[in-house]
């Protein structure tokens, strides 16, 4: 029974850790709902304010640079003040910023609102990854990460629904007010429910033993100057640099691509985007489940993560056909598969950080890697905007680059982590 024998083999005596994941899922949903609203409403706002694709690329660039600063700064802030306060501050900042979008009516105004949004939103993933590492043994982390990360897909799903129905009734400004209010409501539940596992009143001794069941790197605070000594930091930096710009392109330009290529209006965009993000949701959870299943089947931790990354990378390749197909639903399925594969890829890339880093350095490492990849994503947004202006809205080259980026990232991860990790491999043996 739970609580007896080897805790690595015992059934966990409690489910509080999954309540915490539910809270992370909810705020990640809000995070992406706030982030994606501008992309979904872009055709409407662009028609009203008459800004170019290059102007829009510059707005995305401003968000990306602020997001990079928030990713690094909020990651370090969370390592210093703790998970509960770190995520609360981040959510409060970006929720207020989201609502502020409804108060502006110019490219400059949207740029300022996006800067504030990026500074806050940058704190979400470093803190969530640190939370998963705090609440789960290694063999469950990819699944837990996939579950909370699937909130980004639900947020992407909700964004077009809110945009369509709220905009049709009260105008596009109201959509931003609604999304900001939802984030502030979540904050009340987070502050009321979150505590560290050691002091959480609902965590049983059996569940705490399960959470602490695996060999771990020592818990220590690691200064930023020392982060680059860890292979996990470089793995996340390189993987993120190669793939995050593609993900940002999908989130910022796919609604416009469908609008321009297939001549659909805002209401008609809703169902295709819902399907895309439902597929993405499956990919997020499925990618995390796959590596966990491989570990339980006897594969080493690093081997399982790499195989899952490779499977996801292969699924992104067909997206290069999206600009060439005649039917909108064929394009939707190709893009949905690629975005689902990205989320499965991301779940395992995130988890490799917690597999290889001391817990005191996880948020900082994810923050540093996210900062660097977000800066590159910002410059790539500028490039995308100018390519589209120069080619009259031809997306072929952009989708082609996205189709190959993940295979290059898998090769890079393999070269960065070529050896087995003794502590990580012990988890696989314990899970058998």
Token pair for 301: 């931790």
Residues 123-128, mean pLDDT to the nearest whole number: 89
Which positions ≥6 away from 240 have C-beta within 8 Å?
349, 369, 370, 372, 373
Cβ burial, residue 263 (10 Å; 0-12/13-18/19+): exposed
- Beta carbons of 410 and 306 less than 8 angstroms apart: yes
Highest mean pLDDT out of 202-211, 309-318, 419-428: 309-318
Token pair listed for 169: 């009734």
Is 218 or 78 the better-scoring residue by pLDDT? 78
Q: Indicate the fold that domain 16-194+227-431 takes in CATH.
A: Growth Hormone; Chain: A; (1.20.1250)
Exposed/middle/buried for residue 390 (C-beta within 10 Å: 0-12, 13-18, 19+)? exposed
User: pLDDT tens-digit profile of 264-307?
Assistant: 777 777 789 889 988 988 888 888 888 888 988 888 888 888 99
Residue for token pair 């501050």:
89
> In this structure, are residues 118 and 93 in contact, taking their beta carbons and an 8 Å threshold?
no
Residues 336-372: tens digit of each pLDDT: 999 999 999 988 887 887 777 776 677 677 777 778 8
Give per-residue pLDDT as tens, 380-407.
Answer: 988 999 999 999 889 999 999 999 999 9
CB 407 within 8 A of CB 318: no
pTM of the model: 0.75
pLDDT of residue 423: 41
Segment 148-168, tens digit of pLDDT: 988 887 888 888 888 888 988
pLDDT in tens, 171-212: 999 999 999 999 999 999 999 999 999 999 999 999 998 988
Per residue in 2-41, pLDDT (tens digit) is 444 444 444 566 789 999 999 999 999 999 899 989 988 8
Q: Which pLDDT value is given to residue 12?
A: 65
Average pLDDT over residues 246-254: 90
Tokens representing residue 186 in the block = 């979540």
Q: Contact, 126 vs 74, CB < 8 A?
A: yes
| Closest to 91 measured CA to CA, from 191, 200, 173, 192 | 191
Q: How far apart are CA 157 and CA 44, in angstroms?
A: 18
pLDDT of residue 154: 85
Banded pLDDT at 373 (limits 50, 70, 90): confident
Average confidence (pLDDT) over 90-105: 95
Determine the pLDDT at residue 182: 95
Q: Per mean pLDDT, which range of 18-22, 119-123, 375-379 is the poorest?
A: 375-379
More confident residue, 319 or 45: 319
CA angle, residues 306, 25, 79, in degrees to nearest 5:
75
Does residue 215 have a pLDDT over 70?
A: no
Let me know: does 45 contact 102? Beta carbons within 8 Å.
no
Of residues 86 and 429, which shows the higher confidence score? 86
Say which DSSP state 264 is in. -
Q: Which whole number is the average pLDDT over 77-86?
A: 90
Can you tell me which residue has the tokens 């999206």? 322
Q: What SS3 state is found at 123?
A: coil
3-state secondary structure 266-314: HHHHHHHHHHHHHHHHHHHHHHHHHHHHHHHCCCCHHHHHHHHHHHHHH
Across the chain, mean pLDDT equals 85
What is the dihedral sign for C-alpha 91, 364, 20, 348? positive
Q: Which residues make Cβ contacts (< 8 Å) with residue 78, sequence separation at least 6?
A: 86, 87, 123, 126, 127, 130, 363, 367
On whether the CB atoms of residues 399 and 322 are closer than 8 A, the answer is yes
Q: Tell me, what's the pLDDT at 430?
A: 38
């Amino acid at each position: 029974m739970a609580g007896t024998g080897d805790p690595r083999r015992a059934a966990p005596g409690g489910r509080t850790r999954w309540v915490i994941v539910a809270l992370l899922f909810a705020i990640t949903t809000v995070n992406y709902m706030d982030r994606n609203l501008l992309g979904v409403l872009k055709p409407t706002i662009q028609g009203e304010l008459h800004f170019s694709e290059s102007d829009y690329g510059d707005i995305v660039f401003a968000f990306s640079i602020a997001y990079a600063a928030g990713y690094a700064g909020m990651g370090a802030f969370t390592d210093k003040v703790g998970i509960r306060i770190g995520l609360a501050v981040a959510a409060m900042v970006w929720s207020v910023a989201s609502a502020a979008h409804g108060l502006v009516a110019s490219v400059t105004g949207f740029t300022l609102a996006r800067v504030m949004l990026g500074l806050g939103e940058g704190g979400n993933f470093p803190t969530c990854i640190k939370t998963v590492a705090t609440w789960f043994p290694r063999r469950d982390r990819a699944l837990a990460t996939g579950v909370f990360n699937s909130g980004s897909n639900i947020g992407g799903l909700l964004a077009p629904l809110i945009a369509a129905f709220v905009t049709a009734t009260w105008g596009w400004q109201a959509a931003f007010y609604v999304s900001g209010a939802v984030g502030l409501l979540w904050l009340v539940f987070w502050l009321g429910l979150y505590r560290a596992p050691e002091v959480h009143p609902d965590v049983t001794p059996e569940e705490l033993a399960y959470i602490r069941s695996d060999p771990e790197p020592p818990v220590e605070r690691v200064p930023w100057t020392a982060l680059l000594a860890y292979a996990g930091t470089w793995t996340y930096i390189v993987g993120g640099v190669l793939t995050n710009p593609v993900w940002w392109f999908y989130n910022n330009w796919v609604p416009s691509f469908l609008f321009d290529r297939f001549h659909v209006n805002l209401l008609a965009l809703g169902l295709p985007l819902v399907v895309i993000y439902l597929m993405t949701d499956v990919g997020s959870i499925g990618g995390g489940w796959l590596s966990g299943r491989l570990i339980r089947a006897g594969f080493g931790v690093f081997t399982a993560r790499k195989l899952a990354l490779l499977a996801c990378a292969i699924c992104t390749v067909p997206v290069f056909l999206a600009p060439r197909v005649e039917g909108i639903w064929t394009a939707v399925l190709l893009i949905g598969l690629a975005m689902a594969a990205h989320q499965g890829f991301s779940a395992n890339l995130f988890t490799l950080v917690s597999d290889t880093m001391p817990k005191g350095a996880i948020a900082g490492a994810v923050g540093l890697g996210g900062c660097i990849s977000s800066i590159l994503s910002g410059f790539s947004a500028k490039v995308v905007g100018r390519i589209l202006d120069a080619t009259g809205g031809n997306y072929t080259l952009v989708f082609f680059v996205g189709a190959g980026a993940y295979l290059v990232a898998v090769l890079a991860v393999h070269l960065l982590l070529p050896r087995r990790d003794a502590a990580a491999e012990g988890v696989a043996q314990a899970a058998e």
